[in-house]
Amino acid sequence: MQFAKTLQRFISLQNRFQTQLGHVVAWGTLSLVVLMAAIVILRYGFNSGSIAMQEAAMYNHAILFMLGIAYTYQQDQHVRVDVFYANASPTRKAWINLIGTLLFAIPSMLFILWSGWDYVSASWAIKESSAEPGGLAYLYMLKTLILIMAGLVLMQSLAIAARAWLEISEPESLSPPEKPEVEGTL
């Protein structure tokens, strides 16, 4: 029972962290919209362009994606083939989530961490920046998001696996599932 409480506490803390991070990252979409509008207005309204602004839009998009993917996973809004999942019982869904997380999500994130480490390290070693004249510096920091993303998804995968395990083994120990907050909010 103590183990179940510990798992429940981890799940709760992880979900709270991902929700807060997801809400903060969602505001980045506003900056992306403003930046893209400025690029279009400058290009077509004033016949002017900026490589730095275009790269800033690309960096912004990458930041939103990399930091938002674990939140999407936590909210159960990721892409899934619902042929078997949609009509499954809660226990069957828990088994699908547990097996899918253990066989696919966790190994994938571990592989990204393992293979991405040298890639990111090499970028940091040379303080990599844009290859374009007038482009942005700090490309090495952007590449660091690969490792951060994998870490965030890995932690969320562990929470999802723990919840699935508790749903299978000790359903009475679980608090009600947290409802996805995606509808109508950022």
One-letter amino acid for residue 34 of the chain: V
Taken in order 16, 185, 181, 144, the sign of the CA dihedral is negative
Is the pLDDT at 124 greater than 70? The verdict is yes
* 178 alpha carbon, distance to own chain's centre: 18
In this prediction, residue 122 has a pLDDT band, given cuts at 50, 70 and 90, of: very high
* Range of lowest pLDDT (3-7, 112-116, 159-163): 3-7
Average predicted confidence (pLDDT) for the chain: 89
Do residues 128 and 143 touch, judged by C-beta distance below 8 A?
yes
Q: Which two tokens stand for residue 177?
A: 């599932």
Helix (H) or strand (E) holding 123: helix 106-125
What's the confidence (pLDDT) of residue 164?
95
Q: Which two tokens stand for residue 76?
A: 């159960």
Is the pLDDT at 179 greater than 80? The verdict is no
For the segment 83-114, what is each residue's pLDDT rounded down to a tens digit? 778 888 889 999 999 999 999 999 999 999 99
Beta-strand (E) ranges in 36-132? Answer: none
What's the confidence (pLDDT) of residue 181?
54
Classify residue 183 as exposed, middle or buried by CB count within 10 Å of its CB (0-12, 13-18, 19+): exposed
pTM of the predicted protein model: 0.85
For range 50-67, the mean pLDDT: 91
